[in-house]
Amino acid sequence: MKKLLAILIAVAAFVGAGLFWLSGNIDGLIKSAITDYGSAMTQARVSVGAVKVDPANGKGMIGYLQIGNPQGFKTAYALKVGRIDVDIDIASIASDVIHIRRIAIVAADVIYEKGDTMTNFDAIQKNIANYLGPTNNKSGGTKLIVDELTIRDTHAQASATFMNGKTVGLPLPAITLKNLGKAKGGITPGELGQEVTGALKAKLAGAFSFDRLIKSTGQALEKAGSAIKGLFK
pLDDT digit string (tens) for 168-202?
Answer: 998 899 999 999 999 999 999 999 999 999 999 99
When pLDDT is cut at 50, 70 and 90, the band that residue 29 belongs to is confident
- Residue 113, pLDDT above cutoff 80: yes
Return the amino acid letter for 177.
L
Domain containing 146: what range? 2-231
Per the structure, the count of domains in the chain is 1
The set of residues, in sequence order, having a beta carbon less than 8 Å from that of 76 and lying 6+ positions away, is 68, 69, 111, 165
Cα separation, 187 vs 166, in Å, equals: 37
pLDDT at residue number 135: 54
Whether residue 225 is predicted with pLDDT greater than 70 in this model: the reply is no
Q: What average pLDDT does the segment 136-145 reach? A: 70
Cα separations in angstroms, 18 against 9, 13, 14, 87, 122:
14, 8, 6, 22, 40
Supply the pTM of this predicted model. Answer: 0.79
- Return phi, psi of residue 174, to 5°: -65, 150
Q: What is the pLDDT of residue 211?
A: 79
pLDDT at 93: 83
Phi, psi of 85 (to 5 degrees): -85, 135
How confident is the model over 42-67, as a mean pLDDT? 93
